[in-house]
Amino acid sequence: MIMASTTALNSGCNVGGAVVNRNPLFLRPPSSTLVKQSRRRSPKLRFTVRASETHADGPTKKLGLSDAECEAAVVAGTVPEAPPIPAKPAAPSGSPMVPSLPLSRRPRRNRKSPALRAAFQETTLSPANFVYPLFIHEGEDDTPIGAMPGCYRLGWRHGLLEEVSKARDVGVNSIVLFPKVPDALKSPTGDEAYNENGLVPRAIRLLKDKYPDLVIYTDVALDPYSSDGHDGIVREDGVIMNDETVHQLCKQAIAQARAGADVVSPSDMMDGRVGAIRAALDSEGFQHVSIMSYTAKYASSFYGPFRDALDSNPRFGDKKTYQMNPANYREALIETSEDEAEGADILLVKPGLPYLDIIRLLRDNSSLPIAAYQVSGEYSMIKAGGVLKMIDEERVMLESLMCLRRAGADIILTYFALQAARCLCDEKR
């Protein structure tokens, strides 16, 4: 049987117009024969098949040999030729000749090719990780926000629906709404915040009617509705009244839940507001509505463009009596413990990139989902750097978002949501 196979293998055939050995693998004689021949003369040039080579009539053709015939040849010592061992790449001229370092571990081995880097990548970034903050107003036209290139105050009946449609097309199905409220509707107690026919409840109902599966987050705070521009009710001596503000926030959260909000997000930083809102929602039958607490919201200078967008700058003073001191780290653990105990479903850190250590702190000390808010100042700096050609806007944008994910954020509130999602979709194509 082996003899018959050998005869068949040694018969000639025509490949690409030339007569060659019928062996499709271009089998060589046993190694002992090769050694003897190499002592007498240089080995003959062999025709070696490479996977990348093609001929005029297409890829190298199979010649119809059975598995048994191929195996018999190898057993007989007639081993198929394969491409030669690649030559070692030459070092540039002048490179020093040094002995190899005695390293048992070389981490660069796992980074040497795109395939390996992708296989061992620890953090991923997806449109599903994004929550898209959208500014809305009563007008019909979309108004550009000068300090935030690419962002607009969207008309709630038209522009809002169009922007949400664009986001959904690239996999972003979560948004958070921020209203610009007419000055005439603002008051010291922010009563417009819980008007069930106000701008935010109307927009929620419109969106849910058009996109029932859209995940809608809402902002729970009084600053867009306050004539003082603060997150709470201001006493005549300038003190922000905590418990009275929480009372208003509970009514605001109920109005948003009744309109169809999926997640209410108290950003006010009043003490005890998470527990009070949870109790208020449950008492009204909204046990299914989640709470994303702004757990570690710092009194940051990165919020400027946002406040301009909503015309919600404080009329006096600052917000340091209720927002956290940027110098503090351990204090975030106190806020985390309280919010968890009071029933928060998601914990948020704001701002994002300058506070990666706080994101990691919450990630390491809580099993709840962690959110990070890449705020307006972060967004505008990247945009400005891109316009001035000082940085590659797209690369820096994606890197900044990946860093927030790496630090421990499950979701990211970012004005880059649409732009970043489009980039990620293009990468997949």
Which positions are catalytic? 297, 350
| Cα(127)–Cα(147) distance, integer angstroms | 25
| Cα(429)–Cα(426) distance, integer angstroms | 5
Q: Is 303 helix (H, G, I), strand (E, B) or coil?
A: helix
| Cα(44)–Cα(40) distance, integer angstroms | 12
Axis crossing angle, helix 242-259 with helix 199-210, rounded to the nearest 10: 30
Residue 293: count other Cβ atoms within 10 Å of its Cβ: 30
* Cβ neighbours of residue 104 closer than 8 Å, sequence gap 6 or more: none
Helix (H) or strand (E) holding 201: helix 199-210
Residue 394: count other Cβ atoms within 10 Å of its Cβ: 15
| Cα(346)–Cα(411) distance, integer angstroms | 10
The single-letter DSSP state of residue 226 is B
Is 142 within 8 Å of 161 (Cβ atoms)? Answer: no
* Cβ neighbours of residue 199 closer than 8 Å, sequence gap 6 or more: 136, 137, 138, 156, 179, 181
